[in-house]
Structure 1
Amino acid sequence: MTDSKTATPNPHDDISTADTSHNQSVDIPLWKRVWRHSLTQMMILSVQSFCGPAMADAITGLGGGGLATPQISNIFNAINYAMLALVCFLGGPIVNKLGVKWALVLGAMTFPIQGSAYYCNSKFGNQWYLILSGAISGIGTGCWYVAEAGAIMTLAPTGARGKYLALWIVARNLGQLVGGAINLSKNYEKGTSGSVTPDTYVAFLIIECIALPFALLITPFERVIRSDGTRIVTAETLSTKMEVRRIAKTMTSKLIVLSCLWAFCGTWSTYLGTYFSVRARALSSLISPFFCIIGCFGLGFILDSKYLGQRRRAQIGLYTVVILNVGVYIWSIIMQTKFKRHNPGHIDWDDSLYPSSFLPYFFVQTTGPLSQSYMYWLLSSFATDAQENVRNGAAFRCIEAVGQAIAYGMNTQTESNPLVGFCVTFGLLGAAIIPMAILVNTTPNRIPADVIAEEQDAAINKTDNVEHVSTA
């Protein structure tokens, strides 16, 4: 296969078969057309996201990581993200060899390991298994993350990418709602600190197991039926050596180099745990996802606007996300500077200080998902085929994981002063703006994969017409 920027597979190869399958979609049973529909596939992927990463967030949000000390919990997360980074770096070759479906299956099989570790830690106090599970689940989840990133950037029809990504990001962030609801049910009375029983982690473990059968329902890209009738462009399978070369080339590409600081930014803070009471933290975790839903779908409608070119939408999306992030971080830093001068103790929801101090956290839980959703939309705007989406997603996820690993490592040292994490993140955000602006201003007005698909379809139709005329 030639360079991804010029790759145009033979129209009479697998792509022609995919095209024929789409033309004959009326002959496919209704249930199979519904199953293969791009929206159905995105929903199946979103369910997996809820059962896996979202449940991991929910458990973390319960506090202490299954009665583990904050330090042990941060060590677990640091190891987990370190393994994620390593696997994501090699994820492009792995996923393109296995196929997206089987990479998702492999990753889903490791989700329950994390839940079982929290259960064992809560029941028997063996924190060594919790730390070990961080490495094991990091490997499996890393493989799943790369496949997921490639899928979310590939499945959606061009005019609905923003809304599809909003659906995914909302499912991804509903975990804290579950964790908040459980926590609030045990700590709704003022002054109480209800513990999380081992049975609670059994419930999480069961939900994590549900991801596997949904992973088995994923269909290969070439069989996906998009709502607008377009098909997904796929490339030929490369050798392992070529795939390794491609991922190395991707890591040094303009797309990844200019977006790496953006990927590196994370929510480095123990703000909620430091300044709020147990029941206030539970309530905060419960209500934060609701505005996330509104914000993500709102951004999705902007990014899917039919009245603006793709580059203009990319620019407006960047302005929106940056302005919201800057406002929230300035507000957060001001509040934490006040807290450092006059420690408010543990703020409860009936305190007069609660609204002004909680709102920064509330909006951070929205601007973070908004930033992530926007970035995957932008990455998908440059792709020439599904395999390149996998490589780009793997590279971006690798950098994200490195940032999160460092963040949790920092939290083990700066738990008493969350202002440090916010200032570092704010600085990274400021440094990322100029490279991101340069990248956004080079966004193509059409997705290269769409252009390639049209050229291939035109070549197929021309060949068919010539053969028809010669036969006649």
Structure 2
Amino acid sequence: MSKNSSLVTTDMVVRDSQEDDLVRIPDKLRSDMHDPTSWYNRRYVSWLPPYSNSMVQIVVMSFVLFLTPGCFNAITGIGNSGISDPKVSDNANVALYSTFATIGAIGGVVCNVIGIRWCLMIGGTGYVMYTLSLLVYHYKQNAAFCIFAGAYLGFCASLTWAAQGLVVMSYTLENNKAHAIMVFWVIFNFGAVLGSLIPLVQNLELGASNVNAGTYVGFIVLMAAGIVVAAFLLPMDKVYRSDGSQVIEKKYPRISDEIRGMFRVLKHEPRIYAMFPMFAASNWFYTYQFNDVNAVRFNVRTRSLNSLLYWLFQMIGSILVGFVLDWRRYTRPVRARIGFAIIFLSGLAIWGGGLKFQMGVTRQNVKSIPPIDFTESRYIGPMFLYICYGAFDAMFQSFIFWVLGTFSNNPKKVALYASFYKSLQSAFAAISWRLDATEHSFLAMFISSWALIQGSLLLAAPLILFKITETTAPETEEILQISLDDEVTTAPSIEGKTEQDSKLKS
């Protein structure tokens, strides 16, 4: 027996939150973990995992986005952000997404340096300021403040979504990634659903083109609450997956190293480029749906109802695609092909129906067409179309996150994936909002949206159908060590370390 045997005489026990199995961790490893008696490692309710469990952290993060971009989506979904001048809304969104596209490219780098908690807290301030600018515009018609707030929100949103991508794609085990995405998408969109109730209730009797001031005040309060919730998120090094493995070791990276790591990912992983067209398509159609359909074809109370239904069925769409993508009856490559087929065919059907609704309506004649109210019989068809638009958006974006999650389990690396995704998404969204501000035809906006969706799926098809593997090879925490052959290893898991200590005993 070696001297090292004295280090492993007693064990600490960690309970698996999903399987209820016991993972025994030798005393030698206690120095690698945080104090098991800390409040975040305790089970206060026997059937609930501790606060340090990765799925609990995903839920907390989801509620932060529920209160910040979730409520922002409710405002945007009304059309023209609820204000009377569509050009002000368009220009503010151009500023937002232009900044987002620029800063978003390095959002993952910043997130890896300052951590998810600070990213989400700083990010929340942008949503508060943007909504405040809409409130000021309601009284003072200060368009410049709206544009400035949009640009500031673009910076903040890049941090918010980098943190979100890191958490949702790397905190869970491989066989639960689609469920993690589903949980996030449901909670996140529930924020937009509840947020849509505010303008619906407050403007139920109105037929005006803009919402009242109380709507914006309610959103500001909710968004500020999101910043407070973000302060309670744990650092990554205090979070553990259900098998007992630590999400990431505690490190203090240099920003220069992180930037070099970003370029290494772009250089050594060409498969990410196949997803770029889907990134570009993923928010392009929002401009058409919110401003060119909802804002011009319906009165204000019906727009609010449409927004509620849009985000409600996003929740349903994400649940459906989540179960398909984690359906363990089939292998992961097969699930990828099933998901691809569902989304491609759904896009053809839903946007085909949208073409019928759009035909014959132009910017020139739309003002002569009476706005649709939800009490009219002619509302039924457009209502179902708008519901399907919402469900498809959730399915499309959830599928993108899931595919990216099959590339890596490394939190630092998936933060960069999320940055590439959101940066390119925002760049094309800025173009779309600008095209709407310059009054390109409704039909052109529709055709470009549909063509981008179906075309991007076809371009990504070789990767999705033939290159997704059953499991992802372990990777190191240090992106700078990524090599062309991907033969790298992670920091050992708790179970791996236990095996190493067993060898020491002998």
Select the residue among 366, 387, 391 that pairs with 2:391: 366
Judging by fraction of residues, say which structure has more helix: 1
- 1:342 to partner: Cα distance: 8.8
1:323-359: per-residue Cα shift (whole Å, max 9, x none)? 1122111111122114459965422324343222332
Structure 1 residues 38-117: aligned runs within 5 Å: 38-65=54-81, 67-117=83-133
1:259-299: per-residue Cα shift (whole Å, max 9, x none)? 01111112140112222233322222222333322221111
Partner of 2:373: 348
Q: Residues of 1 paired with 2:195 and 2:397: CA distance?
A: 21
CA distance 1:276–1:80, shift in 2 (3 Å): same
Q: Residues of 2 paired with 1:439 and 1:300: CA distance?
A: 20
Select the residue among 439, 456, 460 that pairs with 1:432: 456
SS at match of 1:218: coil
Structure 1 residues 153-168: aligned runs within 5 Å: 153-168=169-184
Partner of 1:380: 405
Select the residue among 482, 493, 497 that pairs with 1:460: 497
- 1:228 to partner: Cα distance: 4.2
Select the residue among 199, 209, 218 that pairs with 1:203: 218
Select the residue among 211, 214, 217 that pairs with 2:232: 217
Are the counterparts in 1 of residues 317 and 391 from structure 2 also a CA contact under 8 Å? Answer: yes
Select the residue among 132, 135, 146 that pairs with 1:130: 146
- 1:118 to partner: Cα distance: 1.6
Alignment pair present for 1:275 and 2:275: no
Alignment pair present for 1:21 and 2:26: no
Are the counterparts in 2 of residues 181 and 286 from structure 1 also a CA contact under 8 Å? Answer: yes
Please say which of residues 67-76 and 213-222 is displaced more in the overlay: 213-222
C-alpha RMSD of matched pairs (Å): 2.9
Are the counterparts in 1 of residues 78 and 307 from structure 2 also a CA contact under 8 Å? Answer: no
Alignment pair present for 1:402 and 2:427: yes
Q: Residues of 1 paired with 2:321 and 2:216: CA distance?
A: 34
1:411-452: per-residue Cα shift (whole Å, max 9, x none)? 11236x322112001111232123321121211211334895
CA distance 1:285–1:462, shift in 2 (3 Å): closer
Please say which of residues 294-303 and 60-69 is displaced more in the overlay: 60-69
> Which segments of 5 or more consecutive residues in structure 1 lack a partner in the other structure?
1-15
Partner of 2:348: 326
Select the residue among 317, 320, 333 that pairs with 1:311: 333
> Which segments of 5 or more consecutive residues in structure 2 lack a partner in the other structure?
1-27, 476-487
**TM-score scaled by structure 2?**
0.81
- 1:72 to partner: Cα distance: 0.6
Q: Residues of 1 paired with 2:116 and 2:29: CA distance?
A: 19
1:120-145: per-residue Cα shift (whole Å, max 9, x none)? 22233222211111111211221121
- 1:453 to partner: Cα distance: 5.6
Are the counterparts in 1 of residues 324 and 335 from structure 2 also a CA contact under 8 Å? Answer: yes
**TM-score scaled by structure 1?**
0.87
Q: Residues of 2 paired with 1:114 and 1:461: CA distance?
A: 50
Q: Residues of 2 paired with 1:18 and 1:51: CA distance?
A: 37
Q: Residues of 1 paired with 2:492 and 2:207: CA distance?
A: 66
Q: Residues of 1 paired with 2:266 and 2:400: CA distance?
A: 16
Are the counterparts in 2 of residues 89 and 398 from structure 1 also a CA contact under 8 Å? Answer: yes
Percent same amino acid at aligned positions? 20
Are the counterparts in 1 of residues 245 and 494 from structure 2 also a CA contact under 8 Å? Answer: no
Partner of 1:446: 471
